[in-house]
Amino acid sequence: MTRVPSTGRIEIRDLRAFGLHGVLPHERERAQPFSVDLDAYFDVSPAAASDALADTVDYGALVQQVAEVVCGTSFSLLEALAAAVARRVLDDDRVARVEVVVRKMRPPVDVDVGSVGVRVVDVRRT
């Protein structure tokens, strides 16, 4: 019998990290809070069969990678930040598709909003 891949995903919600992202000069002088949601889609059947961490995408490693991008780089636009996170996640050959939401928790607008954000969806190119 041929094994059929079983697509699943790892979900990370509301990862909080401080970064220097924004168009305005004051946004790039002092770190501000960002929130990231991430869905990484991959074939879960090897991990489901083996129950071994080596056979899955490690969510702990994903959390660390996302935090490194948010904290360790600087972008003017949320679109560029979200795309950089997506590219980093797709560095793992097992990840076929990724959805990233990046939210600026204290946006520089004159209206009271909880956050503003961008969603990026990217897929592995073969």
Do the beta carbons of residue 18 and residue 34 sit within 8 Å? yes
115-122 CB contacts, 8 Å cutoff, 24+ apart:
115/35, 116/78, 117/35, 117/78, 118/77, 118/78, 118/79, 118/81, 118/82, 119/82, 120/79, 120/82, 120/83, 120/85, 120/86, 121/86, 121/97, 122/83, 122/86, 122/87, 122/90, 122/97, 122/98
Active site residue 102: no
Catalytic residue among 100, 104, 117, 120: 104
List the catalytic residues.
104
